[in-house]
């Protein structure tokens, strides 16, 4: 599959004649189960029911659909022995730049997922603790052969939509994945990819927060410009690029708003009484005026003052 958004959709349309009806049916079942089953069965998330049922049906009837095992092989449940990797100075210099880039992008994505969760549950995360936990986890996971990981928006949103509201939800999520990895990893090979696709469609729609998108589109033109620029860059280029440019645009917008909020008021009494200008040496010199400044005085306000 191509990486770009529009190229992917062109590939989808060109492959419409190769649609697998079994995979399509499983995907639709997972989609509607995740979307509506949670309103009936509130104890168990609809996405979990969709995965279990779809896996059992696929395995029992030997349906010709792609699964995790057929695409990626059987997942091993063995934990590697921890190992400390030592590198020489030349390797360190070579890896320093990409390591900083990965750390920066990973931090941005983790904080973004935390902000998405705040919007979904009405909470407020602790960014410093988020980054410290991520850094510590990546350091120790490398000892077991792991690769750098970040807070995932998809899993975070799924957790929130399933009722998670506290850090305990994230801890239980991690412990559950560990148990699946240790005990049921051979069974995960039978999960159909179409079921995961149907669930991710619902997750993506919930993450979009269409009501907030429409609300911003009704606001002032500057917010609309930042929103559309970030949105289009995310779709047609890359999420990280969109975040960086969006943050820069938002910073310029903030400075403009602060400059517009700046007010200069001439300090005069009633009917131009200049006695208010008197100081210890008497009245202020001719051609000198006094003003009261209200609001933040930024460098952007310099030309306005002059």
Helices (H), 20-88: 21-36, 46-61, 68-72
Residue 266 host element (H or E): strand 263-266
pLDDT tens figures, 94-133: 888 778 878 877 888 888 888 888 888 888 888 899 899 8
Which ranges of 68-152 would DSSP assign to H, the alpha helix? 68-72, 89-121, 127-142
For residue 283, the model assigns a pLDDT of 61
Helix (H) or strand (E) holding 14: helix 5-14
Q: What is the pLDDT of residue 64?
A: 93
CA 9: distance to chain centroid?
23
Residues of the chain below pLDDT 70: 261-286, 289, 295-306
Which pTM was predicted? 0.63
In this prediction, residue 116 carries a pLDDT of 82
Q: What is the pLDDT of residue 305?
A: 47
Residue 23 pLDDT: 95
The half-sphere exposure of 238 on its side-chain side, counting CA atoms within 13 A, is 7
User: How many CB atoms are located within 10 Å of the residue 289 CB?
Assistant: 10
Classify burial at 58, counting beta carbons within 10 Å of its beta carbon; exposed 0-12, middle 13-18, buried 19 or more.
buried
Q: Quick one: 82 exposed, middle or buried, by C-beta within 10 A (0-12, 13-18, 19+)?
A: exposed
Which pLDDT belongs to residue 211?
81
pLDDT at 193: 95
């Amino acid at each position: 599959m191509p990486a770009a958004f529009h190229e992917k959709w062109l590939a989808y349309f060109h492959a419409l004649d190769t649609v697998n009806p079994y995979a399509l049916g499983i995907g639709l079942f997972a989609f509607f189960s995740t979307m509506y089953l949670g309103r009936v069965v509130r104890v168990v998330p609809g996405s979990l029911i969709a995965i279990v049922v779809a896996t059992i049906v696929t395995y029992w009837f030997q349906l010709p659909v792609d699964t995790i095992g057929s695409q990626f092989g059987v997942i091993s449940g063995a934990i590697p022995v921890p190992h400390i990797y030592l590198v020489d100075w030349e390797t360190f210099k070579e890896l320093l730049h990409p390591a900083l880039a990965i750390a920066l992008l990973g931090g941005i994505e983790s904080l973004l997922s935390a902000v998405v969760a705040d919007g979904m549950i009405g909470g407020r995360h602790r960014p410093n603790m988020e980054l410290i936990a991520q850094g510590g986890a990546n350091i120790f996971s490398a000892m077991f052969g792991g690769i750098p990981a970040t807070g995932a928006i998809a899993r975070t949103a799924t957790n929130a939509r399933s009722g998670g509201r506290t850090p305990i939800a994230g801890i239980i999520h991690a412990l559950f994945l560990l148990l699946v990895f240790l005990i049921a990893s051979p069974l995960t090979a039978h999960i159909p990819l179409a079921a995961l696709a149907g669930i991710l469609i619902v997750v993506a729609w919930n993450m979009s927060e269409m009501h907030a998108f429409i609300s911003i589109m009704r606001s002032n033109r500057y917010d609309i410009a930042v929103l559309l620029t970030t949105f289009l860059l995310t779709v047609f280029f890359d999420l990280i690029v969109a975040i960086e440019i969006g943050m820069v645009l938002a910073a310029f917008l903030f400075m403009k708003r602060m400059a517009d909020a700046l007010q200069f008021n001439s300090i005069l009494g009633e009917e131009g009484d200049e006695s208010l200008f008197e100081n210890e040496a008497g009245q202020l010199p001719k051609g000198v005026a006094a003003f009261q400044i209200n609001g933040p005085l930024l460098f952007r306000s310099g030309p306005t003052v002059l």
